[in-house]
């Protein structure tokens, strides 16, 4: 703790020691505390913080919206960084030549630069209101923009990586680096960026009729509301969809595998597998993180025994080192 204090003491940060991040800052509303929680007030302060963490070997974790995160009951060590200051929620329009990823045609025009702390849900609604098309597929996805880029968030309607033309990051040395479109690979639930902090992204959006963009957002949100337990305490899909065993390259629904294994409604303590969508695990008030972890491990074991598929967690679990 003393080393962490020396790292943060003279930087432009809001600092909280022994912060209750699990119960208050994740969608599961369970889990332990962070030894140190910091909210940088500027990009410069964040760069200095990352540099000091690297020099001292201090673990630094970036907390987004907490929608895809489970904090262990014993909490986490090191420094947790939350980018919720206004400086990390800004959105601006810039004029530049769009550098798209390989296989996507590039053209000159305006792009939207969005800081990583911006709420993806609010960004989707704002773009729709302005008649900007390209990210309607993200309707109903709870995330910060940085977290969405990190895991290439999305679903059956598309992924955020489809709209990305550049990503700004901070590397381990605290330096600013920019990855242009062709340098970033987006795949199912992952991107190729290894820098510890995603700072901003540029999105290529197309002018459209606001009524049409709003209608598309409402349609996608209504579908998700009907098929997913969106009102419950959960972290979205628990497992990634595995590749089919026939080598076709298609993905098999993890939810269907869990359902076929007879696990819908199965519970451990206050944690349950949703009756509505088997890849959503919900938590009742008072549930422990250990209950949820035990339920995740049990589901993976039963599915492997039943179908032979090895499920990989999509939900991120933070524990002490």
pLDDT in tens, 6-28: 899 899 999 999 999 999 999 99
Domain co-membership, 128 together with 162: yes
CA distance 221 to 304: 32
Domain co-membership, 171 together with 134: yes
Q: Is residue 223 part of a domain?
A: no
Domain co-membership, 104 together with 168: yes
Q: Is residue 19 part of a domain?
A: yes
Helix (H, G, I), strand (E, B), or coil: what is residue 213?
helix
Q: What is the pLDDT of residues 262-307, one digit of tens each?
A: 999 999 999 999 999 999 999 999 999 999 999 999 999 999 999 9
Domain co-membership, 207 together with 93: yes
Among the listed residues 318, 121, 148, the one whose alpha carbon sits nearest the alpha carbon of residue 230: 121
* pLDDT (0 to 100) of residue 1: 55
Domain co-membership, 181 together with 119: yes
* pLDDT (0 to 100) of residue 107: 43
* pLDDT (0 to 100) of residue 109: 52
Q: What is the pLDDT of residues 123-145, one digit of tens each?
A: 999 999 999 999 999 998 889 99
Q: Is residue 299 part of a domain?
A: yes
Would you name the residues annotated as active-site residues? 189, 237, 314
Domain co-membership, 195 together with 97: yes
Host H or E run for residue 148:
helix 145-150
Domain co-membership, 9 together with 79: yes
CA distance 49 to 60: 9
DSSP state of 240: P
Q: Is residue 240 part of a domain?
A: no
Neighbouring CB atoms inside 10 A of 295's CB total 24
Domain co-membership, 186 together with 113: yes
Q: Is residue 228 part of a domain?
A: no
Q: Is residue 197 part of a domain?
A: yes
Percent of the chain with pLDDT over 70: 93
Q: Give me the phi and psi of 180, to 5 degrees please.
A: -75, 160
Kindly tell me if the per-residue pLDDT of 100 is higher than 90.
no
Q: What is the pLDDT of residues 173-227, one digit of tens each?
A: 999 999 987 889 999 999 999 999 999 999 999 889 999 999 999 999 888 877 7
The enclosing domain of 271 has a CATH number of 3.90.78.10
CA distance 177 to 89: 19
CA distance 27 to 18: 19
Q: Is residue 263 part of a domain?
A: yes
Is residue 314 within 8 Å of 240, Cβ to Cβ? yes
Q: Which two tokens stand for residue 126?
A: 């704002």
Residues 6+ apart with CB under 8 A from 319: 72, 74, 76
What is the value of pTM for the model shown?
Answer: 0.90
The enclosing domain of 172 has a CATH number of 3.30.465.10
The enclosing domain of 55 has a CATH number of 3.30.43.10
Classify residue 59 as exposed, middle or buried by CB count within 10 Å of its CB (0-12, 13-18, 19+): middle
Percent of the chain with pLDDT over 90: 81
Domain co-membership, 66 together with 22: yes
Number of domains, the chain: 3
Domain span at 264: 254-318
Q: Is residue 235 part of a domain?
A: no
């Amino acid at each position: 703790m003393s080393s962490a204090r020396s790292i943060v003491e003279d930087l432009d940060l809001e600092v909280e020691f022994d912060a209750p991040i699990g119960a208050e800052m994740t969608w599961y509303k369970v889990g332990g505390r962070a030894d140190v929680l910091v909210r940088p007030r500027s990009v410069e302060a964040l760069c200095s913080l990352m540099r000091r963490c690297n020099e001292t070997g201090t673990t630094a974790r970036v907390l987004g919206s907490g929608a895809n995160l489970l904090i262990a009951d014993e909490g986490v060590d090191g420094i947790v960084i939350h980018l919720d200051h206004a400086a990390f929620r800004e959105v601006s329009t810039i004029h530049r030549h769009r550098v798209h990823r390989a296989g996507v045609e590039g053209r000159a025009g305006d792009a939207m630069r969005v800081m990583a702390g911006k709420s993806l849900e609010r960004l989707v609604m704002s773009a729709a209101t302005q008649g900007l098309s390209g990210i309607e597929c993200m309707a109903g996805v709870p995330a910060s923009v940085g977290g969405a880029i990190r895991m290439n968030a999305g679903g059956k309607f598309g992924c955020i990586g489809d709209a990305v033309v550049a990503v700004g990051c901070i590397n381990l040395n605290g330096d600013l680096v920019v990855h242009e479109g062709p340098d970033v690979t987006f795949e199912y639930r992952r991107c190729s960026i290894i820098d510890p902090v995603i700072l901003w992204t540029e999105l290529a959006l197309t002018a459209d009729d606001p009524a049409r963009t709003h209608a598309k957002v409402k349609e996608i949100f209504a579908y998700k509301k009907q098929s997913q337990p969106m009102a419950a305490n959960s972290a979205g899909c628990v497992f990634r969809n595995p590749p089919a065993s026939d080598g076709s390259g298609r993905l098999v629904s993890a939810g269907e595998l869990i359902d076929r294994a007879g696990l819908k409604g199965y519970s451990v303590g206050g944690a349950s597998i949703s009756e509505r969508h088997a890849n959503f695990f919900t938590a009742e008030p008072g549930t422990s993180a250990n209950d949820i972890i035990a339920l995740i491990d049990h589901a993976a074991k039963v599915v492997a025994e039943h179908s032979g598929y090895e499920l990989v967690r999509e939900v991120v679990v933070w524990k002490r080192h």
